[in-house]
Amino acid sequence: MRRINGKSNLCGNYLKDKRLERQMNRSDLARELQLLGLNMSVDDIYRIETNRVILKDFELIAICIALDISLDEFKKLYK
């Protein structure tokens, strides 16, 4: 499995912080994602937030839409 610094993705912690800033729990986010057509469980979100799975591009885009995050914000995570 591909990893960077021992993590499967770089976005998980950032996404969790943004979700908590919006006072959403994982169930709220899962519900918003389902409304966007992405069937993602609370456990799936947990695994993303804890950097245990590779985050697919369409999942990242849907999460960004649900949390009102610009994709440009992720550039700083790779530095």
6 lies in a domain?
no
Predicted TM-score (pTM) of this structure: 0.86
User: How many domains does the structure of the chain reveal?
Assistant: 1
Average pLDDT, the chain: 91
70 lies in a domain?
yes
54 lies in a domain?
yes
40 lies in a domain?
yes
CA 46 to chain centre: 9
51 lies in a domain?
yes
2 lies in a domain?
no
7 lies in a domain?
no
Q: Supply the CATH number for residue 53's domain.
A: 1.10.260
pLDDT tens sequence across 3-12 = 777 777 878 9
Give the burial string for 34-71 (b: 16+ CB within 10 Å, else e).
eeeebebeeebbebbbebebebeeebbebbbebbebee
* Rounded-to-5 percentages of helix, strand, coil across the chain: 60, 5, 40
Domain, as residue range, for 73: 12-78
